[in-house]
Amino acid sequence: MKGTIASMTDSGLATWSSNFAAQLAIIGLAIHVSPAVIAAVQQATTDFGNALAASTDESTRTKVTILTKQQMRTALLALISQTISLVNGLPDVTDQQKITLGMSIRKKPTPSPVASTPPVGECVGVSGRNVQFRVHAQGGTKRSKPPGQQGVMAYIFIGDAAPTSVEGWRSLGLVTRSTFEVPTGAPDTACTVWLTFQWVNTKGETGPAGPGVPVCLPALSPVPQAGEKMRLAA
């Protein structure tokens, strides 16, 4: 409700603020709102209601009463905004009490659990010393992520046998796409490149790393130098 109060009509604001002030008077002390704040909301609501009546009655409607009404509306909106922020910051206020006051309920953040299983990594292509990988959830589709996960932390190792923990790997950082290319930086000689992955949730927490996925890269053929003739097969 807080986000829409300022756009209410004058009559709508008068109705809403009257309920807010009345309910605040009933439950305010119980939720630790001070008597001074409760009294200020009641007074501002009354002042706006009186000013609104004077500005809409043909017998009292003048430029002065219209201006006064607008000033009372501005003051009431400011006080309501401050009071709602105060109530939202109180730890013991229930959602039902906020509804009684006419307030909207803040959406609770979606849980971001730490993944309990590692991603499945698959090599889907090789181009020179770059490898293309796809990651997805175990038992899921080829583009699926577990709930609350923003992507994967990727790690690389070049050698015959992969390390048994991520400490021995080189981090490639966070990857948020399900399919991506990795510049391995591998030597031109034949070698084995390993990649492993961890899910990363929206809070930056990582789950377990999966087993290393090996990619065997063949030796690269030497590129003829300038002025060197290519040897043709007989």
How far, in Å, CA of 1 to CA of 6, rounded? 10
pTM beyond 0.85: the answer is no
**Domain 120-217 is in which class?**
mainly beta
Helix (H, G, I), strand (E, B) or coil at 99: helix
Mean pLDDT, residues 36-62 taken together: 96
Q: What is the pLDDT of residues 174-198, one digit of tens each?
A: 999 999 999 999 999 999 999 999 9
Confidence of residue 234 (pLDDT cuts 50, 70, 90): very low
How far, in Å, CA of 120 to CA of 134, rounded? 8
How far, in Å, CA of 17 to CA of 83, rounded? 12
Strands across the sheet with 120-127, in order?
120-127, 130-136, 179-183
Domain limits of the chain?
5-101, 120-217
What pLDDT does 167 receive? Answer: 80
DSSP state of 222: P
What pLDDT does 141 receive? Answer: 66
How far, in Å, CA of 165 to CA of 160, rounded? 15
Strands 130-136 and 213-217: unpaired
How far, in Å, CA of 94 to CA of 102, rounded? 13
Q: Quick check: 228 pLDDT over 60?
A: no
Percent of the chain with pLDDT over 70: 91
Q: What is the pLDDT of residues 154-169, one digit of tens each?
A: 999 999 999 887 788 9
